[in-house]
Amino acid sequence: MKKTELTVRPLSGIDLSGVPEVIRVLPKGHVSSTKGDFEVDDRDIAGIIRQFKARRLDLVIDYEHQTLSDVQAPAAGWIKDLYPGEDALMARVEWTKKGREYIANKEYRYLSPVVLVKKADQHAAVFHSAALTNTPAITGMFAIINSDVLSIEEEEEEPKMELSELIQLLGLEEGTTEEDVLKRIKELVQQTGGEGQDGQEGKSGKEDPAKEGTQLVANKTVLDLLGLPENARTEDVTARIMAFKAGDSVLQQRVAELEKQAASQKAEELVGLALKDGKLSPAQKEWAVAYALSDPKGFAAFVEKAPVVVPMGKTAFAVDERKQTGVDWKILKNQGVTEEDLKKYGGMEDDTDGE
């Protein structure tokens, strides 16, 4: 929680006609007070209502601000609910019997609210109480407080990570819907097995998420998909998505390498079959592999139409490969291979030298 300095501002009276059950308790806009001017906008009213509902306590309407003094302070009524009106903060009031009689008899005519104002920007922060009074210009109300400055713990609205930020972070096109953003996050999580490149599962850092200046994220769906806690910060979300994207890149690289390896193996197989069928000579192998790798279908069509260029069942030797040395002949003879065998199966001419 962040500590915020506030000042107490009893306001000039609001005219009560009859005994209304619903009253305007705080006007919007620039408000003048004997204790100083301040501002009230829609965000201030929303904050006041949020704090009122969080405390779950009725707010007192007393007499002459006795609640602010060290004296007995009976209630004239209780504020049961607060809600935004068109030009003011509205309150639903339950009057006591005596309070109702005072108003009906016109013994009290005005309502004077007490508001706590932020010293930093002079905006209303807390609706403290209200009082029935006939003297709107109120003074001498701070005996119980020791000072006109209060320090309370104020819950501020947690800023959300905007959809546009997530779109940019994920590298998606502008105008991408929230559904598609969530779908992309889910894909990243599934593709990387729930871990980023560094292998970390979704854990928030150890720093205090309420540290001043740290943004919080309130999109529970995004946090659940990323495996982050509800108090995760925007930097946690950014880091997590970047880790998944990095993991996704590594995965894509691995897939590309496997695809390249498979394509190369397939090309080698196609060329091997073409060589076996006599559609290619060994001298064409390097060219044929490159062709089959770049255009498998084109290479297959070429092989289908190509004539047999090497006699079936024979191995073509380069001219210099058919000249055997003395050592070669000794090895062949030791293995039981004769010159006739080479002539018959190796494509050797009659002028091949031998020992």
Instruction: State the pLDDT confidence band at 81, using cuts at 50, 70 and 90.
Output: very high
- The pLDDT of residue 58 is 93
- The pLDDT of residue 172 is 73
- Look at 10-24, 101-115, 173-187 and tell me which has the smallest mean pLDDT: 10-24
Specify the higher pLDDT residue, 42 or 186.
42
> In which residue are the tokens 């990095």 written?
246
- The pLDDT of residue 77 is 92
Q: What tens digit of pLDDT does each residue of 270-309 get? A: 888 888 888 888 888 888 889 888 898 888 888 888 887 7
For 44, 60, 73, 108, the CA distances from 27, given in Å and listed in that order, are: 11, 19, 26, 20
> In which residue are the tokens 């932020």 written?
118
CB 183 within 8 A of CB 236: no
Q: What tens digit of pLDDT does each residue of 226-242 get? A: 666 666 666 666 666 66
Q: Which two tokens stand for residue 277?
A: 């069928």
* Share of residues in the chain with pLDDT > 70 (%): 52
Instruction: State the pLDDT confidence band at 331, using cuts at 50, 70 and 90.
Output: low
Tell me, what amino acid is at 55? R
Specify the higher pLDDT residue, 41 or 223.
41
Q: What tens digit of pLDDT does each residue of 126-177 get? A: 888 888 887 754 333 322 222 233 334 444 444 445 667 667 666 777 777 8
- The pLDDT of residue 279 is 80
Q: What tens digit of pLDDT does each residue of 11-34 get? A: 544 545 567 888 888 888 888 777
Q: Which two tokens stand for residue 16?
A: 């009560």
- The pLDDT of residue 207 is 41
- The pLDDT of residue 80 is 94
Tell me, what amino acid is at 94? E
Q: What is the 3-state secondary structure (H, E, C) of the chain?
A: CEEEEEEEEECCCEECCCCCCEEEEEECEEECCCCCCEEECHHHHHHHHHHHHHHCCCEEEEECCHHHCCCCCCCCEEEEEEEECCCEEEEEEEECHHHHHHHHCCCCCEEEEEEEEECCCCEEEEEEEEEEECCCCCCCCCCCCCCCEEEEEECCCCCCCCHHHHHHHHCCCCCCCHHHHHHHHHHHHHHCCCCCCCCCCCCCCCCCCCCCCCCECCCHHHHHHHCCCCCCEHHHHHHHHHHHHHHHHHHHHHHHHHHHHHHHHHHHHHHHHHHHCCCCCHHHHHHHHHHHHHCHHHHHHHHHHCCCCCCCCCCCCCHHHCCCCHHHHHHHHHCCCCHHHHHHHCCCCCCCCCC
For 176, 216, 218, 234, 319, the CA distances from 181, given in Å and listed in that order, are: 7, 19, 16, 16, 66
- The pLDDT of residue 115 is 83
Work out whether strand 124-133 and strand 59-63 pair parallel, antiparallel, or are unpaired: parallel
Facing residues of 63 across strands?
132
Mean pLDDT over residues 309-325, rounded?
A: 52
- The closest of 192, 169, 187 to 225, measured between CA atoms, is 187
Let me know if 189 is exposed, middle or buried by CB neighbors in 10 A (0-12, 13-18, 19+): buried
- The pLDDT of residue 41 is 92
Facing residues of 334 across strands?
none
Which of 39-43, 200-204, 209-213, 305-309: highest mean pLDDT? Answer: 39-43
CB-side exposure of 332: number of CA atoms within 13 Å? Answer: 15
* Greatest Cα pair distance in the chain: 141
Tell me the pLDDT of the chain averaged across its residues: 69
User: What is the pTM for the complete model shown?
Assistant: 0.38
Q: Which two tokens stand for residue 118?
A: 């932020």
